[in-house]
Amino acid sequence: MAGGAFVLIWSSGYVVGSIAAKSAAPVAITTWRLGLAAVLLAALARGAGRRWPARATLGAIAGTGVVMFGVQFGALYLAMSEGMPAGTAALLMSVCPLLVAGLSAALGIERLRRPQLAGIALGFTGVVLALADRVSAPPSLAPVLWTLLGLAGFAVGTLLQRHLPAEVDFRVLGAVECAAAALALVPWALLHGGLAIPLTARALSSTGWLTVICAVGGPLVLFSLIRTRGATRASSLLFLVPAVTAVASWPVLGQPFGANTVGGLALAGLGVWLLSQRAAPVRPAAEPARSLVRS
């Protein structure tokens, strides 16, 4: 029950995000979403009596939030506003663990065996296959590049997250990171359509959903799953998101998926499964739940 709810919530972030990005200036949507989520998470942390981090660590937390949330969602919503299908965006973002694994191996954090290396190769092959018909014409190149920038923010932010203090409560962490990202996005928003959101049902309801359900509810459900199922089993649910998003995008957004998308999903899923087999860490990583909440 909770697992299904998690997949639906995470998938809805792409479908509703596509609606929101075409209802208002995409960077404005991102800025307001993150700012409101910061307020809600801070209220939850205060209600639970959680302590705030020392000033010495606030800079690192804030910087991580700018990369993790600001770069990721600012670029992703721009991509969807310019025509990137929600299902394709979800597929690209879902291979973040493959990219993180490759970076971790290159930096000496993790040693990959042959199955993991094959998984990375298959995963990226799946992405290329799914995107093959998206980059055939120059007008479609910009949203692909924006999505890749969002993926880079997601991957680098995940790596930075490992170095944050493990004792900081996740609600406090989320509040600080979202607030920092929202503030950093203000200049970008002012240069890219302004901060105003139209007072329409479509724009307001989609922004509200992204804030309450996705930015606040999604992580809370994920942490509940981590406590009951463990981090590995909980994180495996993330790789159901692209398929669910692709299916939901057809009736809701009118974005059909073809053979390339199906083949890309299959290859990327196989790659992720191979990557999850018997990892060999070189040195202990930080608390796994800390990075999963950002996935």
Closest residue by Cα to residue 244 from 39, 63, 1, 13? 13
Exposed/middle/buried for residue 145 (C-beta within 10 Å: 0-12, 13-18, 19+): middle
Residue 81: CB partners within 8 Å, gap ≥ 6? Answer: 21, 22, 26
Give the three-state DSSP class for 281.
Answer: strand
- Per-range mean pLDDT, top range of 32-41, 81-90, 158-167, 264-273: 32-41
Residue 99 carries which side chain, given as an amino acid letter?
A: L
The kind and range of the H/E element at 286 are none
Mean of pLDDT values over 272-289: 52
| DSSP annotation of 84 | -
Q: Quick check: 121 pLDDT over 80? A: no
Between the CA of residue 85 and those of 38, 140, 210, 212, 255, what are the distances in Å? 28, 11, 17, 23, 7
pLDDT value at 289 more than 50: no
- Whether 30 contacts 68, CB under 8 Å: no
Between 9 and 86, the more confident residue is 9
Report the C-alpha dihedral over residues 244, 271, 78, 34, rounded to 10 degrees: 80
- Alpha carbon distance 191, 83 (integer Å): 20
- Res 96 pLDDT > 80: no
Residues 6+ apart with CB under 8 A from 268: 91, 94, 95, 98, 122, 123, 126, 127, 130, 239, 242
pLDDT 10s digits, 155-208: 888 788 877 887 888 889 889 999 999 999 999 999 988 999 999 999 999 999
Task: Quick: pLDDT tens for 207-248.
Answer: 999 999 998 888 778 767 766 765 545 555 666 777 778 778
pLDDT at 176: 93
Query: Do the beta carbons of residue 82 and residue 88 sit within 8 Å?
Result: no
